[in-house]
Structure 1
Amino acid sequence: MQEKKSHYNFEEYDDPSLYDGENESYISDIPLLLKWASLTKGAIIDIACGTGRVTIPLARQGHRVIGVDVHNGMLDEARKKSSDLRLEIDWVQQDCMDLNLETTADVIYTVGNSFQHFLTNEEQDKLLASVSRHLNPDGIFIFGTRFPGPEELISTTTEEFWKTYEDEVSKLQVDVYCLSSYDAITQIQHNTTIRKYRNDAGEEVKEKKTAISLRFVFPEEMERLLAMNGFKVLNVYGDWNENPLTGGSKEMVYICQKARWK
């Protein structure tokens, strides 16, 4: 596994079962990915696949999928979830900025706003170079990232309530709060998530804090970034349902094609 650097940005993923409990029910991105997957008969590459939230459903539809992630714990959970299924999935532990797979693909995607984990211009370029190397000519790269609207680019001085859910393992109620600090120079938002666990009597019995930093990219900036790395934008949507991108969108979903000259 990649060595921890001075800024370790994987705390949100160090508990894969917690991650699944909070995120596995999200399926909005799967129909669009299946539509593009249906246009290819070869392998599909899922970058930053995590615990296989999308990898496994695509494989269930008969596609051969290569799931790549740098976090061994997430991959271990993905292997566990798919171990009893007869699916064509290869789980690969590699840094997405330095992919070295023995195959190329017509379709590569990354979901879960993973693009925001690449915090510098250099990291973004390395990711896109890795994708380009593993795409066939005219291959398609699909990804989503949060739209940098004013409600996203905020800093908070007090805990902001987000949601409540029941933890599947402990059966405790979990109140989730967030603290955010946005750096307008680096375009990075530093977030702390506070999970407060309550028993049936409403008493707080446990608290867990995790930190994550995410970079925002503006639409015009993204167009230039993709073009400079050899990608043509075929479509950009305001969500995974293919609605138009507007100033009020919550996310940006890109369908890109590898340029033949790259």
Structure 2
Amino acid sequence: MQEKKSHYNFEEYDDPSLYDGENESYTSDIPLLLKWASLTKGAIIDIACGTGRATIPLARQGHHIIGVDVHKGMLDEARRKFSDLHLEIDWVQQDCMDLNLKIRADFIYTVGNSFQHFLTNEEQDKLLDSVSRHLNSDGIFIFGTRFPGAEELVSTGTEEFWQTYEDAESKLQVDVFCISSYDPISQIQHNTTIRKYKNEAGEEVKEKKTEISLRYVFPREMERLLSMNGFKVLNVYGDWNENPLTGESKEMVYVCQKAGGNQ
């Protein structure tokens, strides 16, 4: 199966308001980010910031945040939400694999399982190199990614129900389904997300499909990947509440430190 390059993996994000409707209420990662932000001096860099789901809450606590994303539409939505807020945020459109921010930080993070969008070994290395170049020595990098458990990687080829929510604009009920196909050689899961819009009578009035591909990394593989790119793993958790990583975990949350003296 041919790998899909991450630069062409944006279909899920072409409608920022749709993305917010499904994801903006998620806040489980914010407390851990605030914990480390409180120990940080200077600007904090939010990589693949999207529409600012995590950027804005940290800025509300008085932190200067640089939100970086390659997707113009997501950044435009972030700026729109930010426009009436008196917060210290700089929104920057750049490729996270080739950052050039003219600044170094003590703390960089990326959330929303964004690490999975870097589909090849080369892309993962470029991302981590970008992070390292923008971190001060002993700086902290935090990110999360889905745990490659057996249930996560099972490919049934059938529609599986994910969630229901109300679309903010149309006020229609949206039932969200997903069809997944996992390639064990590339470790990439190809997903089709199907959104079925229903009126008050429960009649389907619209259907929208989007495609996205996600790379899975196994724990021992991740340890080696981070070490080879100059990072020391301080902690790895099974969720953002700092619970231990187990075989039953749904995600992996890494707190890493740039090796001292690695400029």
Q: For the superposition of Structure 1 and Structure 2, which TM-score range results when normalised by the shorter chain? A: over 0.9
Residue correspondence of structure 1 range 10-21 to structure 2 within 5 A: 10-21=10-21
**Residue in structure 2 matched with residue 260 of structure 1 by the alignment:** 260
Aligned residues: 259
Following the alignment from structure 2 to structure 1, what is the Cα–Cα distance between the partners of residues 154 and 76?
35
Secondary structure, counterpart of 1:126 in structure 2 = helix
Following the alignment from structure 1 to structure 2, what is the Cα–Cα distance between the partners of residues 76 and 7?
19
For residues 54-96 of structure 1, the C-alpha deviation after alignment (integer angstroms, 9 at most, x for no partner) is 0000000000000000000000000000011110000000000
**Residue in structure 1 matched with residue 95 of structure 2 by the alignment:** 95
Q: Does 1:35 align with 2:26?
A: no
Which structure 1 residue ranges, 4+ long, deviate > 4 Å from structure 2? 4-7
**Residue in structure 2 matched with residue 142 of structure 1 by the alignment:** 142
Secondary structure, counterpart of 2:252 in structure 1 = strand
Following the alignment from structure 1 to structure 2, what is the Cα–Cα distance between the partners of residues 14 and 183?
25
Following the alignment from structure 1 to structure 2, what is the Cα–Cα distance between the partners of residues 221 and 187?
12
TM-score by length of 2: 0.97
Following the alignment from structure 1 to structure 2, what is the Cα–Cα distance between the partners of residues 178 and 104?
39
Letter paired with 2:232: K
Q: Does 1:187 align with 2:200?
A: no
Q: 1:133: how far off? A: 0.1
**Residue in structure 2 matched with residue 111 of structure 1 by the alignment:** 111
Following the alignment from structure 2 to structure 1, what is the Cα–Cα distance between the partners of residues 139 and 85?
29
Identity %: 86
Following the alignment from structure 1 to structure 2, what is the Cα–Cα distance between the partners of residues 38 and 238?
22
Letter paired with 1:228: M
Q: Which runs of no fewer than 5 residues in structure 2 stay unpaired? A: none
Following the alignment from structure 1 to structure 2, what is the Cα–Cα distance between the partners of residues 24 and 89?
18
Q: 1:6: how far off? A: 9.2
Q: Does 1:62 align with 2:26?
A: no
User: Contact 1:230 / 1:261 at 8 angstroms: preserved in 2?
Assistant: no
User: Contact 1:47 / 1:96 at 8 angstroms: preserved in 2?
Assistant: yes
CA separation of 1:17 and 1:157: change in aligned 2, threshold 3 A: same
**Residue in structure 2 matched with residue 24 of structure 1 by the alignment:** 24
Following the alignment from structure 2 to structure 1, what is the Cα–Cα distance between the partners of residues 176 and 6?
27
Secondary structure, counterpart of 2:152 in structure 1 = coil
User: Contact 2:70 / 2:96 at 8 angstroms: preserved in 1?
Assistant: yes
**Residue in structure 1 matched with residue 209 of structure 2 by the alignment:** 209
Q: Which runs of no fewer than 5 residues in structure 1 stay unpaired? A: none
